[in-house]
Structure 1
């Protein structure tokens, strides 16, 4: 993508959802069209066994999903946020292989899921756990527990 299309992504909050979608289609649409033309031209002349040939095939096989980027304003041209969110799991994976029991591994997965979900909601992880550990003893029904999920809380609610 050209610099102008990337700058548009930085302005996402300046537009309405519909306005942003229209601007994205206007700026990024021609870029995707050119990319598609390059891929289809090069697929005929690039051996499929080469890394470049595999990349072309992969992209063309997933073209319908890639085009959804133009239709859905919530999609981004990068998966950096997803990569950054899973990085702690990837780094710790070798350590987690040594969970003594299946139940221990499940507990670790729940804990790390809560940590990353709290971060996504812009909650202080310390404040979030401090808050829920004070509230957990009073939970009786499923709805009581659901109220403690990170996406149900704000930083103001959990402030110590």
Structure 2
């Protein structure tokens, strides 16, 4: 069995549970190449270290989700956005969000996928990962709004066999 994209409700439920606050999700346009420098890029591999999925969170969702999971007031995320720099603590928290997002990709009967590597905004992810994140096909693009914080975009792209 191969991996399948999560449905939007699964993304909503995971963020609701993870952040402990209501979240809304809506369809969004795919990321563009110009967005990549301000995007957290997470690479997910199987046990053979074969790239199976790439998830991108734009700067705003990186800041808001990283703040919300760490119970940092919304002002902390807003300061990151205003300064165009993710703080160390919010960055570490956002990486933990990415680790938990692997649950959206893992399905019974499919090879286990885990977070392999992350690149915070400005971190220069590998070109092949960026190509997968920008390619049309097996992908889900959503706008995620975190109640009391703010929102941003998440893109989930599967790279393994269909």
User: TM-score, length-normalised on structure 1?
Assistant: 0.25
Greater share of strand = 2
Greater share of helix = 1
